[in-house]
C-alpha cells in the first residue's frame, strides 16, 4: 500500500503553504497582542506601586501626627467626675440615705478638683487627703472621723474611705 503523492498537486501545496503562512502570521499577531497586554499590565503595576508608596508615606505622616496629638491630649487630661465611696458603713449600721448624705458632703469638700489637670490633682493629693481626714461627719447624732482607704486619679477621681467613731 502506498501513500498517494498529493504533495505534488498545486492545490495541496497552496493549502499547506497557506497554513504555514497563517500559523506564522498568527504567531506574530499573538506575540504583538501579548506584548501589548504585558506592557499595559506593567504600567498598571508600576502605577499601583507608586500609589502604595505614596499612601504608605501619607499614612505614616498621619500616624505621627495622631501620636503627637494623643501625647498632648494625654498630658492635658482633666478630671471629669469624682467618685467617693464609704466602704464600712455596714459596720456602724448606717442607713443608705445617711451614707449618701455623707458622701455628698465629702464630694462637696473636694469638688474644686473637677476640670483640673490630672497632674495638678496628683500634685494636690496630700492636700486632698488632709481635707478629707480633717473632716468630721455627724451622722444620726454620732460623730465619725474619715480615713482614706484608697485613692486613684484619672479622668475619674476615685476615693474609698472608711469611717471611725470619734
Three-state SS string over the chain comes to CCCCCHHHCHHHHHHHHHHHHHHHHHHHHHHHHHHHHHHHHHHHHHHHHHHHHHHHHHHHHHHHHHHHHHHHHHHCCECCEEEEEECCCCCCCCCHHHHHHHHHHHHHHCHHHCCCEHHHHHHCHHHHHHHHHCCEEEECCEEEEEEEEEEECCCEEEEEEEEEEC
The pLDDT value given to residue 15:
87
**Residue of 72 and 87 predicted with greater confidence:** 87
Residue 161 phi/psi, 5-degree rounding, is -125, 160
Rounded mean pLDDT of 7-24?
A: 86
What confidence category does residue 5 fall into, taking pLDDT thresholds of 50, 70 and 90?
confident
Q: What's the predicted TM-score (pTM) here? A: 0.58
CA neighbor of 130 nearest in space, from 156, 152, 148, 107: 148
Domain ranges (residues) in the chain: 6-75, 81-165
Distance (Å) of CA 24 to CA 13, 34, 36, 93: 16, 15, 19, 105
How confident is residue 116, by pLDDT bands cut at 50, 70 and 90? confident
Where is pLDDT greater, at 44 or 120? 44
Amino acid at each position: 500500500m502506498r501513500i498517494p503523492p498529493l504533495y505534488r498537486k498545486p492545490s495541496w501545496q497552496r493549502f499547506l503553504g497557506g497554513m504555514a503562512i497563517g500559523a506564522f502570521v498568527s504567531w506574530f499577531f499573538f506575540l504583538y497582542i501579548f506584548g501589548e497586554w504585558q506592557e499595559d499590565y506593567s504600567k498598571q503595576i508600576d502605577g499601583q506601586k507608586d500609589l502604595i508608596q505614596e499612601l504608605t508615606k501619607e499614612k505614616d505622616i498621619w500616624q505621627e501626627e495622631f501620636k503627637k496629638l494623643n501625647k498632648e491630649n494625654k498630658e492635658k487630661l482633666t478630671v471629669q467626675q469624682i467618685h467617693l465611696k464609704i466602704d464600712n458603713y455596714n459596720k456602724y449600721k448606717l442607713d443608705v440615705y445617711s451614707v449618701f448624705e455623707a458622701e455628698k458632703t465629702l464630694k462637696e469638700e473636694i469638688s474644686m478638683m473637677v476640670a483640673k489637670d490630672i497632674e495638678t490633682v496628683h500634685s494636690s493629693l496630700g492636700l486632698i487627703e488632709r481635707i478629707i481626714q480633717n473632716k468630721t461627719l455627724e451622722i444620726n447624732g454620732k460623730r465619725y472621723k474619715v480615713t482614706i482607704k484608697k485613692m486613684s486619679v484619672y479622668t475619674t477621681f476615685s476615693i474609698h474611705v472608711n469611717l471611725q467613731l470619734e
